[in-house]
Amino acid sequence: MSPVLRLLLRRLGISLIVLVGVSMLIFGIARVIPGDPARIALGPNATAEQIEKLRTDLHLDEPIYVQYGQFLKDLARGDLGVSLYTNRPVTTDIAEFLPATLELVIVAGIMMVGIGLPLGIWSARFRGKAADHLIRLLSLLGVSAPSFVWAVILMLLFAYFLPIFPIAGRISDVYEIQRHTGFLLIDTLVAGNFKAFGDAAWHIILPAFALALSGIGQAARLTRANMIETYDKPYIEMAQAYGFKARRIANRYAFKPSLIPSLTVIGLDFAAMLGNAFLVEAVFAWPGLSRYGVNVILRKDLNAIIGTVLIISATFLIVNLIVDLLIAFLNPRIRYSQRGAS
């Protein structure tokens, strides 16, 4: 068995255990939140018989371990129950709202990598010069405030005072796009409607940038620090002594060893954006899963709470698994350690 395959199986096993632990934890927490979910769902005018019937349908009159067993049995069939908030299957709600959040987070992740890493490389290459000081200042600004603060500031600047970007939503109402994947950037291209694609891309820039700003700053600062540490290595000094160009030394010899620690943090930041996206979605009226999750928590919608948390947790674990495999691919020592363990 190859070291990478062994690493993959090991991480999958750990991820499965973590997911079961998360399901038990969120199931228990959802049951002890104050308030009767049946009464909240049916409203103040519901009769006692109606409330009691809904409690029976939700198995709320049974011991918690019986409820959890029923939940696992339904989960094995791909059934997460019915949402009391939308009166639809939770899987249907997740299939509708999750692509919007994933699209936002993926674009934000691309911005984080595409802007943060080059800024860090540039800052290290021109250490002590004006460009370095400027990048460090901007990076510090990026990490100094949470995403929702940047969302409000960017909206006021570039959607209200300077109406360059749209203020809310995923696409203008004039476009009717048939949804195949739920990712509007993909569905518009599939439909061959490039004007709609441009409109959807224009809508996503501001919320994605607000979500990515903190990660961009962190990636730039970390990459700079790692690059400077790598620049002090003897083989870099030797390359400089041989007269190699500064750009070649930075891109070919210094960047790859510096990328591994940055990649770990970027992966964690990327996964964390899934949970942090709800405030940005609220500011920009973005119809995503994070915003849906907040609404179902406020209504104590048990099935929807558990389904949303499980999906976000599973996505978090998948992202971390991909990052682990990528680091193992870039760092031969990890592959050798797996081979030694076998």
Crossing angle of the two packed helices 3-32 and 302-330, in degrees rounded to 10: 160
- Please give the DSSP secondary-structure letter assigned to residue 144: S
CA 89 – CA 94 distance, rounded (Å): 9
CATH number corresponding to 91-337: 1.10.3720.10
| Alpha helices (H) in 126-193, listed in sequence order | 130-143, 147-155, 184-190
Comparing CA positions, the residue from 127, 338, 107 lying closest to residue 200 is 107
pLDDT 10s digits, 84-117: 778 888 999 999 999 999 999 999 999 998 999 8
Does residue 19 carry a pLDDT above 70?
yes
Query: Which two tokens mark 50?
Result: 């109606």
Comparing CA positions, the residue from 133, 147, 279, 164 lying closest to residue 213 is 147
The per-residue pLDDT of the chain, averaged, comes to: 84
Backbone angles phi, psi at 203, to 5 degrees: -70, -35
Residue 146's pLDDT band (boundaries 50, 70, 90)? Answer: confident
- Determine the length of the chain: 342
CA-to-CA separations, 301 to 89, 203, 267, in angstroms, rounded: 12, 30, 31
Strand partners, 90: none
Strand, coil or helix: 101? helix
Backbone angles phi, psi at 82, to 5 degrees: -105, 140
pLDDT (0 to 100) of residue 106: 92
Which residue carries 């899934």 as its tokens? 274
Does residue 203 carry a pLDDT above 90?
yes
pLDDT 10s digits, 285-299: 888 887 888 888 888
Which residue carries 């930075």 as its tokens? 250
Ordered by start, the domain boundaries in the chain are 3-85, 91-337
pLDDT (0 to 100) of residue 313: 86
The amino acid sitting at 149 is V
Mean pLDDT of the 46-65 span: 80
CA 57 – CA 54 distance, rounded (Å): 5
Strand partners, 89: 82
Q: How many CB atoms lie within 10 A of CB 68?
A: 16
- The torsion angle over the Cα atoms of residues 218, 222, 223 and 225, rounded to 10 degrees, is 140
